[in-house]
Structure 1
Amino acid sequence: MDITYRPGELRNPDSLDMEGTTSGSAAQDSPLHTSPPQKAAARPAEFHGIVKKVFEATEDWLLEQFSAIFADVDDTLFTMAEKAQSQADQDTVFADLRTLRMEKTRLVETVISQIRECFHRPQEPRSTIAAEEGPTGELSLVQDADLEQEVIVKSLVSNASRDLMTPIAELSLRLDSLLPGKVYDENLPIGPAILCERLIDSMQPLNISLKTRLVFLKKFEKQMMLKLGELYETCNSALVNAGVLPSLKNPHQRRQSPGSNTARANAAKALAKALGVSPDGDGQFQVPALPGFQAALAGMAGGAVQGAAGQGGAGQGGGFGFAPGLMPVGQGAPQLPTQNLLQFLGELQFQIPQMAQPEGQVLDINAVLTEQLVTAKRSASLGKLDNEVIRLVDMLFSFVLEDRNLADPIKAQLVRLQLPFLKIAVADKAFFAKAGHPARKLLNEVADAAIGWQLPEDYENDPLFKAVREVVETVIAEFNSDQQLFEKLLQEFRAYCAREKKRASMMERRTVEDIEARARLELGRKKVCTVIDAILKDRQLPDFVERMLNTEWRNLLLRTCLQQGTGSTAWRDRVAIARDLAWSVTAPMPQAAAQIAKLKESLLGRIKVELHTMSLKQGDKQQFLDQLEFFYVSRAEASKEDVVPRPVREVKPVPEAKDIEQLAEKATLKPTPEPRKVEVVDKYWQQTMHLKNSWFRLSLPEKPSVRCRLVAMIKDTDQFMFANRNGTKAAVYSRLEFAQALHDGILEPLENGPLFERALKYVVGNIGETELKIAV
């Protein structure tokens, strides 16, 4: 596709100038008409020359794709109307078809007009999944029908943004250097999000059914979203040829990655700045004095500390001749009261900046406490239980950092809860024995929601990550001692997860239903094929009869199988008719003449009734009946003229109808089990049926690993379907393939069970139950 201007089938060049004006009075009458955008005060009178060419190429491409979309939709709706089960359904489809035909020109013009406005003024995309503000200020879900449409749109945007990441980034940077507003991936005027939003806006006023809207979106995906790469290649090539950032290479490498050295350095600087210190050469920093804690230390141990300090000469050691700092338990240094420890932890919690470091880090509480004691020129020791609690919480959050169930940014957020959890545990030594504690339940809920989270490039703007970060930052900013905060956050986060699960389950259901429908269709074809083959095998039927059984009657049986099943009366009757028809035209004459004469009238009547259910033309139906009756008469006359009886030609009898039905029942799509060559696979073979809803890490050669859940086991085809957190299909395996993938490590099960309990089990196993009195 070149960059020159070519008027499209649906465009009126006079009504779509680059200044956003629309001519023609008829435009005011359409329900899809939108007022032309007003000029921005700072907008230049003309587009940059190359930008105008890029827009015109975009316009031509959009018109071409929309023409293909409407053509596909026309064909699909006609087919739906023909197959409609009732007159009302058919009328609805035809009404939708008529509406789309009447409004297609204005719909396309509206989309292109809005895209033009985005070239003039880049606009922020809205949230993909809409929510409405209720009267109480809480978010309420949109209607299920709208939600299903929004889920599909979200999937389209996500897939296109992922697959076309590099060309989108290149085009964004090039247009950013030309357009007056800031352009980036998300607000790219022809980016996936903007295109989908403008289409949905333009379709909103249309009075069409949800089914038709979904058909339109499916064609939109096929004809436009899956071909966006063509448009981006054309636009990027045109800009390169015009000298716009011609040497740009993989712009994502220019952007700061979460784990880069620069990002780590920036995180250390930000943390140091928030604490009012400068990091040393190793990137470490000294925590500034905590005033409240310093004041508490001043009165610690009363006069005994002061007296010991005086005896030590110039106050060296802060008490009993010890050097300043944290002394081991039992070494005779004054014990730091639990209340003072809690004050220290509280002040430290509010000093830590509310930011997510690229790599999470467990805070060394003892080291920070030592610094504070040295600054105050005091020495102290911790109580035995307090010391064990600090050690336990340190190990718990170290386990969180190593948990392979969670992505690094989520772990980095959860580790920030170390200080609030330590405060809880220090104040309540029975905390680790309280499985129902709201703080533990909140941590488990967040970790469970994030188990299937796949790390996106712009993860900081991901809805789940933002929800987790909000929970963590609220705890850090507001938690002092009131544990009701955790209960409140738990309920809010559960409500958020319920909304997300509903969207994901809707997508999963659609995906599973699609696979199951295909499986039912294939199984139905297998059963019908078995029936027809059994009837026709080794028999020479008249051409017109064989053609009828192999085409129209095969379709009739398939429809019966799918709609009513092979156990229905309709199925048995139609199989019997096919069997009787095949017998009646191949049975030896004149021996079977009497039987055929007796059967003929009822058989013709039964066939005539079934022909009325087929989509054949009336003339074709009558022609078949006439041919069949003529064939019967001709055979009967020919048999009477035989003076000398002919030898009876051996004709293989047609199987009984019940035998044919049994053959159909035995038909299956399940593959014949292959011999399992590796004995160890047997263990995984047995496990496959017990892993429903389990999470896995799927690692395929030369592809990034993905997290997926086993959401469905389809019995008809012996298939296991895996989906990601959004409900999109990730993989489908047969049972043997599933077992082999488990054996080979391609599918790696993630840990089951709540995060806090798994972490506690790990800690108990490392330090021994005898040492961990506080945990039982």
Structure 2
Amino acid sequence: MEGDRDRGPQYAVPVEVPTKPMTTSLKQCPPRGRGAFPSPLAGHYIAGCSQVLGGVLPPLLAVLFIRLDDALYDLADKATNSRPYPVYFEAMRIIRKQSQAIQASFLRLLRQTADSAAAGLLECDLLCDADSETLSQDLSLSQDADLEETLAVNNLVSKAESRYCAVLLEVNVFLARLLDREQLDMRSNPFGPFAVCEAFRGALKVARQLEPQIKLVIYKCFDKQVMDHLGDFYRNCLDAALAAGHVPADAAAAGAAARLAPATDQGEPGAFRILQDSDGVIVLDPESVEDTTAVAFETLQGLLERRRSPAGAPAAAPLVLPTRELQALLTQLGAAVLAAGNSAGLQVRQRLRSALESPGARPRSLEPNDQDTLDLVFMFFEQLFEGNALPEPIKVLLGPVQFPIAKLALLDKSFFSRHEHPARQLLNHIGESAAGWSEADGRGPETLFGMIERVVERLILDFDGDCRLFAQMDRFFVAYIAHDQARTREAEARVLAGVRPAAEGTAQQAVAAALEAALIRYAQVPTVVESILRQGWQPVMLATYQGGGADSPDWRAVLDLVDRLLWSVQPKTHSEERRQLLRRIPEILRALRSRLTASGCDQRQLARWFRDLQTLHLAVLQGDTHTGFAPTRPARPSLVPAVAAVPASGDAPVRPAAPAVTLGGWIELTRDDATRVRLKLVWRSPDGARLLFVDRAGQPGAEFSGPELAGLIMRRRVILLGRDHDQLADCAMRSVMGRLAS
């Protein structure tokens, strides 16, 4: 029981849309989007989600109060003097006494938000109706505690919106359509992170005696014990909307996606739109294809139906094959293919058709849902095997796995809608590890080829409808490749150790010059900010510069964050500037924390930096023009020679265009003896003049200059394959959606 309590509750509660419209005491006011009243279906959907949230939250809050009691006791025990000791114990007493009242107030405020949304009154309307100048004045007059609490809540909201971004954006598209809005931002979602956090903030007013520092501890526990466990609830909200047939009519959340989703390469596709034609049939907008990998089966089914040409009347009434018998037939076919050799596994569709149309027997057909499922599975594997991401022998080896995947999809349609589905994760891991396989790696039982072969055989022979077999095989395969990848990383490190030192000197000078140029643009740079940039951020800049050079979008994004951070700690004399800062702080901190954490920055040092940075931001938000909140160092001339400065994009020297190979990208090289080998780019000089490749084992494979590689590509001696972390199954699902959109 204690172990379960530590893990925290997990919920996957289905959302049931009420059959009767909900009632509300609020006056029905027309929304500001298009001037019409919200659909009655909006009340059904919002009430259903609100009802489930009301059932999900109480167990989470029970764990929260337990953890909070433990946290306050630990803080009191660790206190270095007697002053904070009674504060923590008094807070424990207050929370124990007021916990039921806080919970009741929390749930009541969430219900009120849901009622308002169902009536068409959203958070964005309240913000639009408020007088902006009055808000600015209130902000400048707020106490330190209120500002600190606001920043803490904003941080909770930003983290949750980033964590659940993909699902929330789709839910917002549905809500916008139901409420007859042109668009719906994250803060207007009646059960989104902003609504949940603001309701909890309002509920804490019940315990007025709590000290400000105690509230910060509460928010930290609330983030860990409540916000971290809402993923299943949000996914169920989306599933309920899709099941009810709420197909988004436009990409209303595209703008929010651009603001909240992690930065991607410019070449990545944007968001597609699900539309309806004049006959009400579901279609995809062919002008844009969504960069997502999870679409409900019902949506794919409608798109598939639209692509089919009308069939003529059958010569004889076919015998409909039940799903159970279809499962048995797929098992027989899989075993036969395994016995005959994997080379027959790529013609699964033809084998199934032949089995259903045996000569001399009455033709058999499939249930419509079963037929659609198999068509989508076969289309999925056609896209998975298309192109050169996988070597041909690996494609042949994976061919028979279509049989167990088809059996799985017949029973579990979430294979199409969940990118984290165990079967898709297994295919992703196989694709990631097999991208660099060559014949030189061998086909023995202890090789990667032999491991994939054992996984395929086990799935074909042992899958009986229990999805846990795919999860078990995924863990088995990941354990194997983890050992393999550890040896590869060690080999790559040895290779890189011999080529980096000379190039790192030039790169370090360029990075130091870029950072110094940013620092001297500002009159005052607080000591803590300079410490963050020099000790924490400069290594991130160096890794980014070495990885993509001075012309890469990632490098420009890193420099932009430096500029935004420095701007955020400069004095703000006008209230509008402070309002703008308040909106931008969560975004700046989120990006900063993400990159510093990924770079391996010490978490204790990171916590100290962010605590000091919060103090700086609080002072700026209060309009402190004297910046007396921390020591600052005056701007000084750069000590780095000007020749080392990173050139602006417009002043960069003209050089031959380098091939579009990024670090971690794979190529297939045809050697002089006509043998083919797959190699990965592990190092590129900052000027792009030298590119070093290794094989799958991390051993040196080839080294080219940019022009040399470009020439080999033109002569078809080198083929670009993609990146080692491209997700095979996700790319295939994305291609299926693109094909259905055409």
- TM-score band by shorter chain is 0.3 to 0.5
State the structure with more CA Rg: 1
Structure with higher RCO (Cα < 8 A, 6+ apart): 2
TM-score (ref. length: structure 2): 0.35
Q: Could you tell me the TM-score, scaled by structure 1's length?
A: 0.34
